[in-house]
Structure 1
Amino acid sequence: MADNFNYKHLHYFWVVATEGSIARAADKLFITPQTISGQLSMLEERIGQPLFDRVGRRLRLTETGRLVLRYADEIFELGKELNDVLRGAPLVGTSEFIISAASALPKTIVYKILEPALNLSKDLSILCKEGPVETILGELAVHEVDMVLTDTPLSSAYSIKAYNHYLGQSSLTFFASPDLAKQLSGTFPACLNDQPILLPTKQYAVRQLFDKWCQDSNIFPIVRGQYDDSALMKSFGRAGFGIFFMPSIIEQEVVESFGVEIIGSLSEITQKFYAISAERKVTHPAVAAICSTARDIIFN
């Protein structure tokens, strides 16, 4: 492909793709269908691959066409935003940073991760939401949030254009109420056998790792509860309903806040943490501050 990309050709392609046909695109652009067809052919020649498959009278995007469309969406949305700014329209959301955190992440860790963004500017307002992994990734896909915090990295299973930014990892510490801790026999982790345990739901990566570790280690606790919300799980654990685990980097906070005892630590399983954003290379100052501080201070 030549270095000088023809954005007029790209704009014609974008309108055809969004309108669904050359005829509708021609009506919108006030030019002839023949002109658009010629421009599309020139763009395909420049790229070296077809952008559409012709199925009867319909156009269907090829894989290359879908890739080009994703970038074209961003290019022309930025162009519209620039035009609005130059005309004096205020930028929407410049002072608001919207984050969705997976419900199962401990709130203490979420706070530690987000704190650097709050210190960037007094004008920055953080809107923090939480929910199941699929829900918060869906919010990112439709640009309702700027960043997602989760222990489950984005994979090809999700048709979302976004990027994982690894923050760090932590081993796991297991806790029990004082009364339950007294009932445990044997050394850790064998003492987990046949004992009640409270776990995150199976959508979270750390739960999947724990289940596999139990199988490999021939350790079989009794699952008494599964939770989307880490705070709720800790509350049930404090009440003595079962053993539960949290990342070791917050073990002291858990002991002090919930009055539970540490019964053991497990280094074979680590809970990894990710910030997921629409940026491949982090440029948003709040996301950059979060990623840098998490790697250098929280998970060092």
Structure 2
Amino acid sequence: MSGLNYNHLRYFRAIAHAGSLTRAAGILNLSQSALSVQVKALETQLGHTLFDRVGRRMVLTEAGRIALDHADRAFAAGDQLLRTLAGRPGIDQQVLRVGALPTLSRNFQLNFVAPLVGRRDVELILISGTMRELLARLEAHEIDVVLSNLPVRQDSHSDLQSWRLSQQPVSLVAPPGVADADFRFPQSLADIPVLLPSHASDIRPAFDQMMERAGVVPIILAEVDDMAMLRLMARESEALTLVPPIVVTDELRDGSLIEVHRIAGLTEQFHAIIQRRRFPNPLLAALLPAAGPPAEAQLSP
């Protein structure tokens, strides 16, 4: 293979960032046909299609996303050269894009990326969104992994797979003094108000079923779909809060919250969802091995 043509790479990069031939042509002051020829030449040299056309949009393929990451680093290296010779050196970085549901514990998210936190050669991009939004971006190669408290549904047409990373207990927590030593679960919930995760959380339906079986109608002060907000409200409200203890680790440690009751049979699972790719992000290898292989029910080799 002959050396890479960096003009081709520059034109490809412009189209990828612009999202269309029309916008890139305007930015570069070139014709669309000239740009198209340059990209086809790069695709021929690399042996991979870099874009899929979706209407007027140019959507990166898996190979295109990898090529863009390398192109960004290549041109950043030129900027770094200028900074270095000017006495302002920078650091070449790899990028990992992590999507997470707002219902997911921030402490869990931090624990997941902890092996990469502080590495000056790694840039972490953390993105929040709905499951539909995040899976769409995962399949479009815009993010590398989705963190969720629900596994992805596996079917014969999907390249997505779930790794179960952890299973955490679920408790009722509260500021000291909210519940006394006579607290009984679930009967006391008829008298002591409670803050609950919304129905978007997988632990909420199971909790509701427990209440229904016991004939208890809890006094619900709030239903919250963001675990960070639920954590804040747990600290400030004179109420019980249904939450995995990992969400309020710091508060349990400093005593601003206490664990009133750990609910037997109620757990929350944490999953990492990835897409089968020919060129997986190598940074994921530092995060997934400890979890073991994906569950057989969710993944066929």
TM superposition score normalised by structure 1: 0.60
Residue of structure 1 equivalent to 2:107 = 108
Structure 2 residues without counterparts, runs of 5 or longer? 1-35, 37-60, 77-91, 293-301
Separation in structure 2 between the aligned mates of residue 85 and residue 260 of structure 1, nearest angstrom? 47
C-alpha displacement of 1:162: 1.7
Larger helix fraction of residues: 1
2:136 pairs with 120, 135, 138, which one? 138
2:63 pairs with 43, 57, 78, which one? 78
Amino acid at match of 2:127: K
Separation in structure 2 between the aligned mates of residue 83 and residue 131 of structure 1, nearest angstrom? 23
Separation in structure 1 between the aligned mates of residue 278 and residue 190 of structure 2, nearest angstrom? 45
Amino acid at match of 1:97: L
Alignment of structure 1 residues 18-97 onto 2, 5 Å: 78=63, 95-97=94-96
Alignment of structure 1 residues 250-265 onto 2, 5 Å: 252-256=249-253, 259-265=256-262
C-alpha displacement of 1:241: 4.8
Cα RMSD over matched residues? 4.0
Separation in structure 2 between the aligned mates of residue 129 and residue 80 of structure 1, nearest angstrom? 17
Alignment of structure 1 residues 234-249 onto 2, 5 Å: 234-249=231-246
Secondary structure of the 1:122 match is coil
Secondary structure of the 2:287 match is helix
Contact 2:65–2:141 (CA<8 Å) still a contact in 1? no
Amino acid at match of 1:132: T
Residue by residue, what CA displacement relative to the aligned partner does 1:231-251 show, whole Å, maximum 9, x if unpaired? 211211212253113324566
2:123 pairs with 122, 125, 132, which one? 125
C-alpha displacement of 1:137: 2.6
2:150 pairs with 146, 149, 152, which one? 152
Contact 2:65–2:142 (CA<8 Å) still a contact in 1? no
Contact 2:98–2:144 (CA<8 Å) still a contact in 1? yes
Amino acid at match of 2:143: V
C-alpha displacement of 1:116: 1.5
Separation in structure 2 between the aligned mates of residue 257 and residue 214 of structure 1, nearest angstrom? 31
Secondary structure of the 1:195 match is coil
Residue by residue, what CA displacement relative to the aligned partner does 1:42-99 show, whole Å, maximum 9, x if unpaired? xxxxxxxxxxxxxxxxxxxxxxxxxxxxxxxxxx75389679979x9669x9711111
Residue of structure 1 equivalent to 2:200 = 203
* 1:185 to 1:280, Cα distance in 2 relative to 1, 3 A: farther
* 1:81 to 1:195, Cα distance in 2 relative to 1, 3 A: closer
C-alpha displacement of 1:282: 9.9
* 1:105 to 1:285, Cα distance in 2 relative to 1, 3 A: same
1:291 pairs with 270, 288, 292, which one? 288
Contact 2:103–2:200 (CA<8 Å) still a contact in 1? no
Question: How much identity, in percent, do the aligned residues show?
Answer: 23
TM superposition score normalised by structure 2: 0.60
Alignment of structure 1 residues 276-287 onto 2, 5 Å: 276-279=273-276, 283-287=280-284
